[in-house]
Structure 1
Amino acid sequence: MSDLINEFNDYREKMNEVILSKNNLVMKRLWNLDTNTYEDGALDKKTKEMLGLVASMVLRCDDCIKYHLGKCRELNVTTEQLYEIFAVANIVGGTIVIPHTRRAAEYWEALLNEKN
């Protein structure tokens, strides 16, 4: 796995453990709500992850972008689909999203290289 992917996943896992170990009910409920939001329902998981990626890009959250990119890769989103997601995010969010698109493209390439 690339350093870019390992660094993100290791830090995320470590800090999630720290936060959840404090046993704060509101934080636990928030984590649970987030998990349940992306389960299959009227929309499937793949669609929800793609929506999450657009929202994360528009909100300019690089950690969220990386998380949703990883989930999109797990759910077999294609590179062609991904670049349509990027297009929607850039139209909705404006040119300020371009730097996040660059980092997202870099992370996607790392994810693709990891699986090959």
Structure 2
Amino acid sequence: MGKLIDDFNSYREKMNEKILAADNKVMKRIYSVDTLTYQDGALSSKTKEMLGLATSMVLRCDDCVKYHLGKCYDLGVTTAEVFEIFSVANLVGGTIVIPHTRRAVEYWEELLNQ
């Protein structure tokens, strides 16, 4: 894997372990709801991850964007689909989303080249 991917995944895993080790009921439930939300239902998990990516871009959360890009990659989302997601996010979020799109493209390219 590339450095961006390794750094992101290592940090996320380390910090999630610390958060969950605190044994806080609310935090555990939030994590559980997050996991349940992205399972197949009326919408496929692939569609839900694409929605997660678009909304994360609009919210300008780079960590969330990286997470959803990784899940989209794992679920077989194509580069063409990713750029359509970017299009929607930039339309809805405005030009302030462009810097996040740049970083998202960099991360997507690293995913593709792993």
Match of 1:45 in 2: 45
Secondary structure in structure 1 of the residue aligned to 2:76: coil
Structure with larger RCO (C-alpha < 8 A, sep 6+): 2
Secondary structure in structure 1 of the residue aligned to 2:113: helix
Secondary structure in structure 2 of the residue aligned to 1:76: coil
Amino acid at match of 2:45: K
Deviation at 1:25, TM superposition (A): 0.2
After superposition, the CA RMSD in angstroms is: 0.2
Match of 2:79 in 1: 79
Match of 2:21 in 1: 21
Match of 2:107 in 1: 107
Match of 2:93 in 1: 93
Between the aligned partners of 1:7 and 1:54, the Cα distance in structure 2 is 23
Between the aligned partners of 2:30 and 2:79, the Cα distance in structure 1 is 31
Secondary structure in structure 2 of the residue aligned to 1:68: helix
Between the aligned partners of 2:4 and 2:64, the Cα distance in structure 1 is 15
Match of 2:65 in 1: 65
Amino acid at match of 2:87: A
Please identify runs of 4+ aligned residues in structure 1 that moved more than 2 A. none
Instruction: Please say if 1:7 is aligned against 2:7.
Output: yes
Amino acid at match of 2:103: R
Match of 2:30 in 1: 30
Deviations 1:41-99 (A, max 9, x none): 00000000000000000000000000000000000000000000000000000000000
Q: How many residues align?
A: 114
Amino acid at match of 1:63: D
Secondary structure in structure 2 of the residue aligned to 1:42: coil
Q: Percentage identity across aligned positions?
A: 71
Deviation at 1:8, TM superposition (A): 0.2
Between the aligned partners of 2:90 and 2:39, the Cα distance in structure 1 is 26
Between the aligned partners of 2:39 and 2:4, the Cα distance in structure 1 is 27
Between the aligned partners of 1:7 and 1:74, the Cα distance in structure 2 is 18
